[in-house]
A and B are shown apart, each in its own frame.
Chain A
């Protein structure tokens, strides 16, 4: 049942009411019309509303996850060092990754962040409470953020770092050493353990979820690809928000903490920085925040070069990993895993240099060249370079997500049997808890895999081409110019997809 939402409630009298009036452009201007259908999930499923409004909701989803996470870390320390026999490697890098990229992000946005255990300890210290929000009061201990009270230093995050460049670099850095932690449980323990420690320290030092917004290496791609997700947290009625003087979604209340992710939820127009913690749904006194279902790839606005580069990085890594881990060229895998393969450090450094140059220089340069040609071809007075660059870089978001899904499918279809094995014998100690420890390696549909991957990429290409032409209309109003601008960009997207197809089919 889809609900028609009026995107432009008659909030305000027409600005033309007086001759002196000029159209409003600021906060009181009506919100832009919503694109596509929406289903208000909290109206459609009252039990879901009941659930997410419980104060214990997030705690209840994090706790089992934290428990599993600690068990996995223990397996990494005390279990077998053989990667595909250790639950840590199999569940984190195969099962979790597949679920995250192929199901959670496309359908549930950043729902992973709702249950993520990394910030658990830090947020607990910061809030001094597991579930109940605390209010600031004169003379009370702790620091005030909005009207809630927090512990810790509550420092402001440095302005120069208020972007996702750190996440870009961090993610690329982690990916450079992927062959080490994908095969060695103890290295994965070091990586995940360090993340939890860094998250805890940063929660103590800085305000709210600074770690999640600016540091967490997982956050960068969750943020980017959640734009394409079919779920969103949004306010229902702009008029109610305008009239609301509590602004509890921002500043907090006794019902819920102010948005821990620094959003002003009432005005949220894209998913990027919404960690789906559901605090705004609890704190809003007018029941005006909800979770909605929407068409795929609805958020289309990248706001800065940091976000555009994230799109380049993710696309490049999907390409590079397809070569290293799925391709028939063992040479590349040997370079990435130089300590085991016996190739020297200099070979690894060469590999690392290529891995960094691809997303940081090569792909952006090729992209910029196509973009430059497109602007020249269009001829008409264009929008500023940055604006059209970001509009076109956005095209790599749904395309990149589908490329990652195509890359991740074989992980689960080919290696899925390891999940059954390690479930029964998580530490590789010879247990057989669920009588699946001796499941033979049996890839599922290996002969169909390239066809499925090509199908996914084809869907990505169709969506992207449609979007390229549509977004070009935001740059050029003249149809001829719009077409001439869109063609080179469409060609680039087609070339990218062809490259992936060639890799998977070969």
Chain B
């Protein structure tokens, strides 16, 4: 039975955010593996993004340790309605036509971060509890920072999303 994010405890929300970062790391690593030996630049960029997600996870883990004791509750994105942050590719034939560009890795990550920010900001509007609202705002800010970082990266390479 899935729940809405607003129905979770603050502790569960942080645990969810951590598990989402872990899941994205795994997805990015898998994409990186797929391009390994095929297009090294794309593979490297996916690897770089996976590491970046790892850093986000670490920040969230620290935040969790500061606020709560004990292990984080077992919760992941399949337990809640909607998608918070997911890195995905929008084409099924990029390998067939060899059409995937290294820059698209950043684009995909940027979209995921931006979506996550929107998700948390929307959640802020639906909660009454101040602590929860604070937490959502913090997460939205973090995602916003990541999106900005990626936007700069995209900008530097001459293509703004």
On A, residues with C-beta under 8 Å from B are: 10-15, 17-18, 21, 24, 26-29, 143-147, 154, 156-157, 159, 162-163, 207, 213, 239-247, 250-251, 258, 261-269, 272-273, 303-304
Contacts and interface: CB of A to CB of B under 8 A. Distances in A.
16 contacts: A10-B81, A12-B115, A15-B118, A17-B122, A18-B117, A21-B118, A27-B88, A156-B98, A163-B97, A207-B38, A247-B27, A250-B34, A251-B30, A263-B92, A263-B95, A267-B91
Interface string B99-129: 0000000011001101101110110000000
Nearest to B107: A26
Scoring B22, B77, B82 by chain A CB atoms within 10 A of each residue's CB, the highest score goes to B82
B33 to A, nearest CB: 6
A452 B17 CA distance: 63
> Which 3 residue pairs are nearest across A and B when measured between Cβ atoms?
A27-B90, A245-B23, A262-B95
A79 to B, nearest CB: 39
B130 interface: no
A243 B78 contact: yes
A153 B8 CA distance: 51
Contacts of B117: 18
A147 B38 contact: no
A157 B33 CA distance: 17
B94 interface: yes
A481 B77 CA distance: 47
A261 to B, nearest CB: 7
Given A263-B96, A268-B92, A245 B115 contact: no
B2 to A, nearest CB: 10
B30 A246 contact: yes
Given A15-B118, A250-B30, A26 B98 contact: no
A239 to B, nearest CB: 6
Contacts of B31: 247, 250-251
Contacts of B112: 28
A28 B115 contact: yes
A209 to B, nearest CB: 10
A270 to B, nearest CB: 8
A26 B30 contact: no
B93 interface: yes
B158 interface: no
B20 to A, nearest CB: 9
Scoring A14, A243, A266 by chain B CB atoms within 10 A of each residue's CB, the highest score goes to A243
B111 A24 contact: yes
Contacts of A247: 27, 30-31, 34
B37 interface: yes
Interface of B: 22-27, 30-31, 33-34, 36-39, 77-78, 81-83, 86-98, 107-108, 111-112, 114-115, 117-119, 121-122
A276 to B, nearest CB: 15
A298 to B, nearest CB: 15
Contact of A156 (B22, B26, B30, B37): B37
A335 B147 CA distance: 67
A157 B97 CA distance: 10
A273 B77 CA distance: 31
B88 to A, nearest CB: 4
B82 A11 contact: yes
Scoring B27, B90, B93, B111 by chain A CB atoms within 10 A of each residue's CB, the highest score goes to B93
Contacts of B119: 12-13, 17
B127 to A, nearest CB: 14
Scoring B22, B23, B115, B121 by chain A CB atoms within 10 A of each residue's CB, the highest score goes to B115
Contact of B96 (A13, A250, A262): A262
A14 B39 CA distance: 35
B88 A18 contact: no
A269 B89 CA distance: 13
Contacts of B95: 262-264
Nearest to B97: A162
B118 A154 contact: no
B34 A251 contact: yes
Contacts of A17: 118-119, 121-122
Contacts of A162: 96-98
Given A264-B94, A266-B92, A269-B92, A243 B86 contact: yes
B90 A245 contact: no
A11 B85 CA distance: 11
Given A251-B34, A264-B95, A246 B111 contact: no
A245 B30 contact: yes
A269 B33 CA distance: 24
Contacts of B81: 10
Contacts of B111: 24, 26-28
A104 to B, nearest CB: 22
A70 B57 CA distance: 57
Given A144-B36, A156-B98, 5 more contacts: A26-B108, A163-B97, A245-B24, A262-B93, A262-B95
Nearest to A163: B97
Given A13-B82, A245-B23, A267 B30 contact: no
Nearest to B31: A247
A27 B108 contact: yes
Given A26-B90, A29-B90, A162-B96, A13 B122 contact: yes
A190 to B, nearest CB: 30
A303 B90 CA distance: 15
B97 A303 contact: yes
B108 A265 contact: no
A261 B95 CA distance: 9
Nearest to A214: B96
B159 to A, nearest CB: 13
A267 B92 contact: yes
A156 B38 contact: yes
